[in-house]
Structure 1
Amino acid sequence: MTAIRPFATKPFVSSILLWMRTDQPRQTGMDHWKGPHSKIISATPGFEEYRQIHLAEDNPGLWPATRGIETTIPADRRIDGVAEVTFRSVLSPLLGRKQTRLAFKDEVNVFRRTLLYAGPPSSARWYDVAGPGEKADARALVYLRRRDGVRTGEFRKHVNELARTLAGTGLLKELRTQVFMPWNEKLWDTPNVAHDNPADQRFHASLILGFTDPAARAAFFKGPEVESLSDTLASFTSAVHAYEVTDALTYVKDGKELPHYQR
């Protein structure tokens, strides 16, 4: 693979992992999140971008089996969607307290579990990998769990090297990475919704990989690039959960709430 140093911005981002209620049809919850709940979140001041990442219901794991790494996604912890929030500044979270309270109240109508993962400023990377006129029409969301004994700084270095390698393949039309701070329930301790997150189930980084189309995504996970990366991943990760993304809907872009979401 070609070694290059692609241009990357360093936004201030957090992600909320979401599980739909099971006492109603999954699609009912997904539609509520996409509609009424999105309007509450989109009105929050201080956002640079707000995007919903919708995940396929059948998601056993796209990453090929790799010795020493959990690549099969456990059914009881399988995520339904992720809210990706990009703030305009490190002070922006303080501006949205009113809307956040409204979001807290509405969560119980749609979700059974929510987990907030946040990173310190400048820990996320968005790589400029799409050429002029190119866009991602298929995506995968990959969560990484740090292997015991690997230090945080060392892990972050590995993730950044992994991202640069992925960017250098020329196969991606979108690449976003986040490295998380240690998970803390108090950052998103919403009422009447579960926040259970055992230490051995926590994640420490994520990557969003964008492709031209679903065929390109399927070819990537069956190709030599992933096989080569798997050997490297085994040295610093104990789990790699690669989800098929069915939709990525943007509701706030460039600091402005959109009249209708964009794909």
Structure 2
Amino acid sequence: MSTSPSAVQPDVKKHLTSSILLWVRTDQPRQTGMDYWKGPHSGIISATPGLAEYRQIHLAEHNPGRWPVTDGVETSIPADRKVDGVAEVTFQSALSPLQGRKQTQLAYKDEINVFRRTLLYAGPPNSSRWYDVAGPGETVGARALVYLRRRDGVGAGEFRRFIKKQLVPALAGTGVLKELRTQTFLPWIEKLWDTPDVAHDNPDDQHFHASLILGFTDTASRDAFFTSKVIEELSNQLRPLASAIHAYDVAAALTYVRNGDILPGYEE
């Protein structure tokens, strides 16, 4: 597979998306927290005005790190920082977050019922990109979520350009992806999501700067992808730029709001 920028340039739709990384409480069974998030808590978020899409990314409980060992890059996910799920919230416009302030306050109050730590990562308008990589009738049967940490000394602009012009074409060029979404983040600021009674500890050396959602036909395709020559080539390109690559298996991706409409029930 070619990893040159001319390999594949898929069509793209640009959005304004925030991702909230979530850790469920440990004083109750993990599944209890995941079920509460899927149920009562989802209703609060779904009712927020101005949403284009609201999706919950439920991560598998066992997630040591999918990305292969790469010299000088943290690919094993530390147990104490292993994320349980991600709320993926896409807005209709740059003004939409202001519309939802009242509903956001309800979400703030409800977090203590299910989460022990929450971290919001936001990007500027158009920094969330959804690429058209699936053929007609092709569906996603398995996903992976990848978080990237920029290496010290690497500029934010250089990092974003690499993702757009090198990484995305290389991934699309594999021909195996049925979903490809990327986000690049602004510097993390606790005050953007400083909910009461929930931890927001996020040391500087633990910050993330970008994420990828990769969709596959099935788990066998996902397994083959992460052991392929493609990943070795990408690791070699990423090594000078990224100090950490945390690749998670996704257990479920549940959509509650699509195209601005609240769905009668979540869709996988």
The two structures share one fold, judged by TM-score above 0.5: yes
Instruction: Give the corresponding residue for 1:34.
Output: 38
CA contact (8 A) 1:6 1:168 kept: no
Unmatched tracts of structure 2, length 5 or more:
none
Alignment partners' CA distance in 2, 1:221 and 1:169:
12
Alignment partners' CA distance in 2, 1:32 and 1:50:
16
Instruction: Give the corresponding residue for 2:188.
Output: 183
TM-score, normalisation: structure 2: 0.97
Alignment partners' CA distance in 1, 2:224 and 2:8:
22
What letter is aligned with 1:130?
A
Q: String of CA shifts for 1:137-169, please: whole Å, max 9, x gaps.
A: 100000000000000100101111201210111
1:1-263 alignment runs, 5 A limit = 1-2=1-2, 3-160=7-164, 161-263=166-268
What letter is aligned with 1:212?
T
What letter is aligned with 1:108?
I
Alignment partners' CA distance in 2, 1:180 and 1:99:
24
Alignment partners' CA distance in 2, 1:99 and 1:168:
41
Unmatched tracts of structure 1, length 5 or more:
none
What letter is aligned with 2:47?
A
Alignment partners' CA distance in 2, 1:124 and 1:227:
26
CA contact (8 A) 1:124 1:177 kept: yes
Alignment partners' CA distance in 1, 2:15 and 2:127:
8
Q: Percent identity?
A: 71
Cα shift at 1:124 = 1.6
Alignment partners' CA distance in 2, 1:125 and 1:66:
27
Q: String of CA shifts for 1:225-250, please: whole Å, max 9, x gaps.
A: 11111100101000000000000000
What letter is aligned with 1:180?
F
Cα shift at 1:117 = 0.1
Alignment partners' CA distance in 1, 2:139 and 2:71:
34
Alignment partners' CA distance in 2, 1:211 and 1:197:
31
TM-score, normalisation: structure 1: 0.99
Cα shift at 1:136 = 0.9
Alignment partners' CA distance in 1, 2:127 and 2:106:
28
SS for the counterpart of 2:237 is helix
SS for the counterpart of 1:10 is strand
Alignment partners' CA distance in 2, 1:191 and 1:90:
25
Alignment partners' CA distance in 1, 2:105 and 2:231:
42
